[in-house]
Structure 1
Amino acid sequence: MDDRVRQTAESIIGTLRHAGHTAYLAGGCVRDMLLGQPPKDYDVVTDARPNDIRGLFRRTELVGAKFGVVIVRLHGVMTEVATFRADGTYSDGRHPDEVVFGGEIEDAHRRDFTVNAIFYDPADHRVIDHVGGRADLDARLIRTVGGPDRRFAEDHLRLLRAVRFAARLGFDIHADTVAAIARHADRLPTISAERIREELKLILTHPTRADGWGWLTSTGLANHLVAGLNWPAPERARIAARLASIEGGIGFAPALAVVLRDRSPADAQSVCRSLRCTNDEVRSVAWLLRSLPRVHDPRSLELADLKMLMADDDFDDLAELLRGDLLADGAGLGPWDALMARARAIPRDAVAPAPFITGEDVLARGVPAGPDIGRILDAVYRSQLNESVRDRSAAMVLMDERIRSK
């Protein structure tokens, strides 16, 4: 994180304090600072009301009038500044029906987990902890602020957030919190598919994805990600092993392909659409699942088949999924080594060369427009990729043969 972002947040706090207000850093940035990790952003909380905040800074945007949230634009940085508040009832299981501006203690007690409810005063270098968050950080524990059943009944997305924080931070989840997650797991479908998708993406694309999957399955949340989607114990175990075998961060599509590895491409596409995945993600997941069985025996692939696989943007992910499959199954990496050796031996400009012939060439031979043209072009191009046709002249000869035999 750019030091300028933190300095900007601290400058905002300084301005608020100079005007007679209380102001702190809050939330995830404080948690990460105390853990010695670089924060992704810096949020400010204050007793100043939204109109007071807007009066102190020239460039502001009121993004959550109901919740007292103002974006302050300063030094080219956008910083979220929120007024201390207490939340009212949550009738939709996601957002409070009303909020009441209050003090820092009320604000700390409305938050989701203790480790996210710590404040920091940069002027006095002072940690302000009203909920025991510092002790839970030291114990590496995710625990709700207050009773877990109430916290999860208020906002069902917190069910997935608990899993994400535990996995990403390498923390345990307090037993009472785990039990409450299991009790409330069936509330997950009340959240929009888009929000579920975004939380699932954050869980599965992180290097700790196997831990995240473990929490999703042990709490019962996995069975409520998509309606009608259940995971038998053997499949859950295979998924966990495959996720653990993939190193580093990966994209969401390959991560979903790992989770849906034992499902058909059509079923996987249906799951992806239920999660409101993008069209590119849906295509990638289906392509990876169709292609993965083929690369388990890379020596059986014709040169053209290998080149067409390599020409796809998802080929590197395909190779990584193959490696993960082999490691998870306890098999040797022979097929992966063979695939990569064959791929490295192919010059980049030979992977998807321009075709020697086009549809115009076929039409010029009197073939009427229609599917026959595509079939002829595909056959000739396949021979070109197999390097049995090496120039345009040979391609034209093969084209004529195909026209005569159609």
Structure 2
Amino acid sequence: MKLKNVPSEFQKALPILEKIKTAGFEAYFVGGSVRDALLGRPIHDVDIATSSYPQEIKAIFDRTVDIGIEHGTILVLENAGEYEVTTFRTEDIYVDYRRPASVSFVRSLEEDLKRRDFTVNAFALDEDAQVIDLFDGLADLDHRLLRAVGKPQERFSEDALRIMRGLRFVASLDFTIEEQTFTAMKTHAPLLAKISVERSFIEFDKLLTSPFWKKGLRALIDSEAYAYLPNLQDQIAGLEQTLTAVADDFVFSSSEQAWAALLMNLKSTPVKSFLKKWKTSVQFQKTVTSLIDLYDHRSLEGPNRQTIYRYGKNLAILVEDLRQAQGLPVAYDLIEQLDESLAIHDKSEIVIRGGDLMAAFAIKPGPALGKVLAEVERAIVEGELSNDKAAILEFASQRLQ
């Protein structure tokens, strides 16, 4: 079939294909970008596959970067754009259930496409917008079916991360996994324990923040893949609860909100230690912890100046979103009003520092000074004290007497 509406991203990259073909080689757009174009979804990365070898690509284009030349990938800098161009290749045995021991460059498009994970990711698109479909991917696309290319058992034993990628595609594309493919996923799920945590996090995070995350999470549970992910081994009840805790059409606004919601449904476990196992950043851990703390506080009382000052309007709104998705009362307008009423949003905005008080009242650093500074901050937040130097000195003098 021919792609009727060619995305501008492909049109802009078309001269790359034409230049390679003029040099006597084959070249195609391949992979997920072709799938997304067929589905009418936004295009992110344009990948090009070619029969020309890396050194031949470097001879065709003036500006290139060897970003993965050992695997056949060259970054071509052309027409104010950057394009990854990869040589058709076959792969040797996978030594760690993730990466092949070696790759061999070939001149055959079919040999290159047959090593890909799912049929809907194994399309090629030529310069005339003709879709090349060697594995009935178009039929699977019509049926919104996720099917492994070739033998599913081989695809997942080669690269176990494909299991998580498949579950993520279910969540992002609203696809159903073909029966034999799903059986192979479930059989090979234990291999996920051998995959780097960072890689699994990326896929699970994308799953949770996708429009159809409930469908993806359902597939994660049913495949039993969760049992081989950090800290989820005995969390089946919490995962099931996550599916029913919020409205069916609710979509998480951020990764931090998604993980906070997940953790609130799991068995009691220290948030930071849980997220450390997933190799997340300290800032990510801090934000998720704050969201959970604020949610718990919000369950006890409504928003007030101190909570908006401490946690910030953005986190407060994320918490309200979770409450709304659970059918609980919300206070968006109050949060906006409280935020606007704050004279400061961070203590660095206070016009006086500890050194100013030490100089004005001849006091030394210590608990007394710290207590006064805390009282100044609280009073400004509550609107009891102006963020004015003279007013703050008068306020402090009364408390230092």
Q: Calculate the TM-score normalised by the size of structure 2.
A: 0.88
SS at match of 2:37: helix
- Conservation of the 8 A alpha-carbon contact between 1:21 and 1:48: yes
Instruction: Say yes or no: does 1:271 pair with 2:274.
Output: yes
Say whether the 8 Å CA contact 1:242–1:324 is kept in structure 2: no
Q: Distance in 2 between matches of 1:43 and 1:224?
A: 31
Aligned to 1:18: 22
Instruction: Give the distance between the partners of 1:101 and 1:316, measured in 2 at CA.
Output: 50
- Indicate the larger mover: 193-202 or 384-393: 384-393
Q: Is the alpha carbon distance of 1:174 and 1:349 closer, same or farther for their aligned partners in structure 2, counting shifts above 3 Å?
A: same
* Closer, same or farther: CA 167–305 of 1 in aligned 2, 3 Å: closer
Which residue number in structure 2 is paired with residue 325 of structure 1?
323
Change in 2 beyond 3 A, CA 1:402/1:229: farther
Give secondary structure in 1 for the equivalent of 2:270: helix
In the alignment, the residues of structure 1 paired with residue 293 and residue 339 of structure 2 have an alpha-carbon distance, to the nearest angstrom, of 23
Structure 1 residue 352, shift from structure 2 partner: 2.6
Out of 372, 382, 387, the residue aligned to residue 383 of structure 2 is 387
Give the alignment of 1:4-403 within 5 angstroms. 5-102=9-106, 103-123=108-128, 125-227=129-231, 229-233=233-237, 235-242=238-245, 244=247, 247-248=250-251, 250-262=253-265, 267-299=270-302, 302-309=304-311, 312=312, 315-328=313-326, 331-332=327-328, 334=329, 336-337=330-331, 340-347=333-340, 350-352=343-345, 354-355=349-350, 357-364=352-359, 365-390=361-386, 395-403=392-400
Rounded Cα–Cα distance in structure 2 between residues aligned with 1:131 and 1:66: 28
In terms of mean alpha carbon deviation, does 69-78 or 218-227 score higher? 218-227
Check conservation: 2:208, 2:258, Cα contact below 8 A. yes
Counterpart of 2:217 in structure 1: which amino acid?
W
Unaligned runs of 5+ in 2: 1-5
* Cα offset, 1:47, TM superposition: 1.2
Structure 1, unmatched stretches of 5+, are none
Could you tell me how far apart the structure 1 residues matched to 2:22 and 2:342 are? Answer: 64
* Conservation of the 8 A alpha-carbon contact between 1:72 and 1:81: yes
Distance (Å, rounded) in 2 between the aligned partners of 1:248 and 1:52: 46
- CA shift, 1:168, in A, is 0.7
Distance in 1 (alpha carbons) for counterparts of 2:351 and 2:17: 66
Distance in 2 between residues matched to 1:245 and 1:291, nearest whole Å? 23
Cα distance in 2, alignment partners of residues 265 and 13 from structure 1: 55
Residues 171-226 of structure 1: per-residue CA shift (max 9 Å, x gap): 10111122222222222121222212222222222333332222222222223221
| Cα contact 1:222–1:230 (8 A) shared by 2 | no
State the distance in 2 between where 1:259 and 1:228 align.
11
Aligned Cα root-mean-square deviation (Å): 2.7
Distance 1:269 1:35, change over 3 A: same
Closer/same/farther in 2, CA of residues 291 and 156 from structure 1, 3 Å limit: same
> Would you say the 8 A contact 2:342–2:381 is kept in 1?
no
The 1:342/1:257 distance shift into structure 2, 3 A limit, reads closer
| Alpha-carbon separation, structure 2, partners of 1:317 and 1:206 | 20
Q: CA deviation at 1:66?
A: 2.5
SS in 1 for 2:65: strand
Q: Provide the residue aligned with 2:3 in structure 1.
A: none
- Opposite residue 363 of structure 1, the aligned amino acid is M
Say whether the 8 Å CA contact 1:5–1:77 is kept in structure 2.
Answer: no
Aligned-pair CA distance for 1:319:
2.3
1:121 to partner: Cα distance: 1.5
Counterpart Cα distance in 2 of 1:101 and 1:212: 35
Whole-angstrom CA distance in 2 between matches of 1:163 and 1:143: 12
1:238–1:344 CA distance, 2 compared to 1 (3 A): farther
Count of residue pairs the alignment pairs up: 392
Paired with 2:46 and 2:56, the residues of 1 have a C-alpha distance of 20
C-alpha distance in 1 between matches for 2:257 and 2:101: 38
Query: What is the distance in 2 between the residues matched to 1:318 and 1:176?
Result: 45
> Equivalents in 2 of 1:3, 1:36: separation in Å?
9
Three-state SS of the structure 2 residue aligned to 1:215 is helix
Residues 158 and 243 of structure 1: CA distance in aligned 2, closer, same or farther (over 3 Å): farther
Whole-Å Cα distance in 2 between the matches of residues 74 and 277 of structure 1?
36
Per-residue CA deviation, residues 22-55 of structure 1 (Å, 9 max, x unaligned), is: 2211111111122122321221112111111111
* Distance verdict in 2 for CA 1:325–1:347, change over 3 Å: closer
How far apart, in 1, do the equivalents of 2:156 and 2:320 lie? 38
How has the CA–CA distance of structure 1 residues 265 and 306 changed in structure 2, closer, same or farther, with 3 Å as cutoff? farther
| Counterpart Cα distance in 2 of 1:128 and 1:60 | 27
Secondary structure at the aligned position of 1:261 is classed as helix
In the alignment, the residues of structure 2 paired with residue 305 and residue 317 of structure 1 have an alpha-carbon distance, to the nearest angstrom, of 10
Identity of aligned residues (%): 29
Letter in 1 for 2:364: P
Tell me: CA distance 1:345–1:8, structure 2 relative to 1, closer, same or farther (3 Å).
Answer: closer
